């Protein structure tokens, strides 16, 4: 017999119990967490910015410069915005896979290429629209790591949707 909490999830979010829903959730959380963790580390190391400041920077898309005075509330808005954008990125990949299932035949290639596409959109369109004084830019090794992390974001999506496991899991 299902407990009340499980029954509530089943009735409100039935798609979550499906394979595609579970994979969407895993890809969304995995890719989103990799991306924001990298942003925290790179911003702290290169610019001396805190995680709160990074998230306020994301919230500034909604709040403008007021985000930087908004404290934890603005940071929370930034975190929600970040994961909202990532949900759209995962949804686009899921739709592409639905239209072209062959993309999952070689997830290392399709994921890497999708990640490069995400980098191009973020650094060529989204960030320059919000921060025209900073983007586009090429910052040597930092830009290389930006690209590699975006490729990793795409790889997470592709591997999760392909249902791939590590070689260690296959050997068991």
| Whole-angstrom distance, CA of residue 121 vs CA of residue 135 | 12
pLDDT at 2: 52
Q: Residue 65's pLDDT band (boundaries 50, 70, 90)?
A: very high
Could you read off the pLDDT of 26-41 as tens digits, one per residue?
Answer: 999 999 999 999 999 9
Show me where the domains of the chain are located: 29-164
Q: Tell me if 99 sits within 8 A of 92, measured CB to CB.
A: no
pLDDT at 5: 52
Could you read off the pLDDT of 105-138 as tens digits, one per residue?
Answer: 999 999 999 999 999 999 999 999 988 988 888 9
- Nearest to 80, CA basis, from 92, 67, 96: 67
């Amino acid at each position: 017999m299902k407990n009340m909490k499980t029954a509530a999830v089943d009735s409100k979010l039935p798609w979550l119990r499906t394979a595609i829903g579970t994979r969407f959730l895993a890809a969304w959380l995995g890719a989103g967490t990799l991306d924001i963790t990298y942003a925290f580390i790179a911003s702290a190391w290169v610019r001396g910015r805190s995680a709160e400041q990074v998230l306020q920077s994301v919230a500034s898309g909604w709040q403008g410069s007021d985000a930087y005075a908004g404290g934890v509330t603005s940071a929370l808005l930034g975190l929600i915005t970040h994961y909202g954008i990532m949900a759209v990125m995962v949804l686009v990949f899921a739709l592409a896979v639905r239209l072209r299932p062959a993309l999952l035949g070689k997830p290392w290639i399709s994921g890497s290429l999708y990640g490069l596409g995400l980098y191009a959109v973020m650094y060529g369109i989204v960030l320059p629209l919000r921060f025209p004084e900073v983007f586009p830019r090429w910052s040597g090794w930092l830009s290389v790591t930006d690209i590699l992390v975006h490729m990793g974001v795409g790889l997470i999506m592709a591997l999760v949707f392909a249902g791939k496991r590590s070689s260690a899991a296959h050997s068991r």
